[in-house]
Amino acid sequence: MWVAAVLAAVMMTGCGKGGAKPALPEQQGPAAMGVKAIAPATELEASMTRVTGQVRSKQEATLSAQATGTIAKMLVKVGDKVKKGQPLAVLDTSNVVIGVEQARAVKAAADAALQLATNNLERTRKVAESGGIAAAGLDQAEIGTKQAAAQAAQAGATLRMAEENLRDMAIIAPFDGVITARMKNIGDTVAMMPPTPVFTLVDITGLEVRALVPESVVDKIKPGSKTQGTVSPSGMRFEVTVANVGATVDITNRTVEVLADVVGETASPLRPGALVDLDFSNVAGQSDDKGLFLPTQAVSARGQTGFVWVVQDGTVRKRDVRVERVLPGYVRILQGLAADERVLADSSLDVKEGTAVRVVQ
């Protein structure tokens, strides 16, 4: 018993004089905050360089009548393919036809009066040459001919206007395409001002894709670049050629508008309005695909400076980092973080330096 007491006293004395303390367990008990932690990715996946775009026609028009009236005939329906110059609908032309007939009658009378005046001028000139008529008579005949010519010209212009009004009673296709919408029916009244929409015509042969490309990728994309597109949700693939790269950056989402022409044959017809994915990984360059990448939600940053919450020994530590934006939703870590470290997936969590955490992922 005496020996045991001495040994106990020696052990207590050793602890009190700065001996090694046993390691404390990580603070992962019930009181620790459950968090999701992630490690930075060392390269971008191909899907991260894909952008969503929309197929649209290079030519699309909403057609209306060039006159006011009642629709008398509907010559096409939705889905019909039409040719340039083809009539699509006709308004009631009864009153306009009467106007054309009146204008033709006036023109005929004016032409007859001009012919009569011209014949009279020729006879008067012959008489004047033989001295049988005064000069004033010849002047009067010449003036009468000019007046008749002016009246004939005015009648001709009136006739052309009446005929143009008759042509305006028909809605004509301005280019080849497909009728995609019909907003009026027989018996409906349409107006010229403001224009009443009657048809929507779309040229489905000339298609393009409009996409908003991140500014970090767009500098690698040049007119003439070729890439692949995928229709959502069918998965049909097609090829496009970049036709135009926008000159300005959208200050809201930091993207640039890119227009790409659809080229080649497709397994099934592409439809304007369809959502598609364009894969720009083949033009983004390999050097931009390497580094350390984190979702923007994991980094609290303003410009190129910010911080992350690094998980260490069951607690979080604030770490300053330098970043650059590479894609919507992702940043590249330029300085301050190693590839084997883990950070909170959400930098906006209510934590502070040394907060005990429990990784639940």
Whether residues 252 and 322 fall in one domain: no
Q: Rounded distance, CA 336 to CA 96, Å?
A: 81
Whether residues 67 and 175 fall in one domain: yes
Nearest residue to 314 via CA among 56, 24, 15, 27: 27
Q: Rounded distance, CA 260 to CA 226, Å?
A: 9
Whether residues 260 and 306 fall in one domain: no
- Tell me what the mean pLDDT of segment 315-329 comes to: 85
Residue 289 CB-half CA count within 13 A: 14
| Structure confidence by residue, pLDDT tens digits, 197-208 | 999 999 988 899
Whether residues 117 and 162 fall in one domain: yes
In a domain, 8, yes or no: no
Full residue range of the structural domain in which residue 208 is found: 49-58+204-283
In a domain, 337, yes or no: yes
Cβ atoms of residues 29 and 338 within 8 Å: no
| Structure confidence by residue, pLDDT tens digits, 83-139 | 999 999 999 999 999 999 999 999 999 999 999 999 999 888 888 877 777 778 888
Whether residues 208 and 189 fall in one domain: no
In a domain, 24, yes or no: no
In a domain, 7, yes or no: no
Whether residues 195 and 209 fall in one domain: no
Hey, what amino acid is at 352? K
Q: Is 95 exposed, middle or buried (0-12, 13-18, 19+ CB in 10 A)?
A: exposed
Q: Using 50, 70 and 90 to split pLDDT, how confident is the model at 26? A: very low
Q: Which of 227, 251, 283 is the last residue of a domain?
A: 283
Whether residues 266 and 146 fall in one domain: no
- Tell me what the mean pLDDT of segment 309-314 comes to: 93
Question: Domain of 65: which CATH number?
Answer: 2.40.50.100
| Structure confidence by residue, pLDDT tens digits, 260-300 | 999 988 878 888 889 999 987 766 544 455 688 898 899 99
In a domain, 21, yes or no: no
In a domain, 14, yes or no: no
Question: Domain of 54: which CATH number?
Answer: 2.40.30.170
Q: Rounded distance, CA 218 to CA 242, Å?
A: 11
In a domain, 6, yes or no: no
Our count of domains for the chain comes to 4
Whether residues 104 and 211 fall in one domain: no
Lowest mean per-residue pLDDT among 212-216, 239-243, 324-328, 345-349? 324-328
Q: Please state whether the predicted TM-score (pTM) of the whole model is above 0.85.
A: no
State the average pLDDT for the chain.
Answer: 85
**DSSP state string for 252-267:** TTTEEEEEEEEES--S
- Tell me what the mean pLDDT of segment 6-29 comes to: 39
Whether residues 112 and 159 fall in one domain: yes
Whether residues 70 and 175 fall in one domain: yes
Cβ atoms of residues 320 and 337 within 8 Å: no
In a domain, 19, yes or no: no
Two structure tokens written together for 266: 């497709």
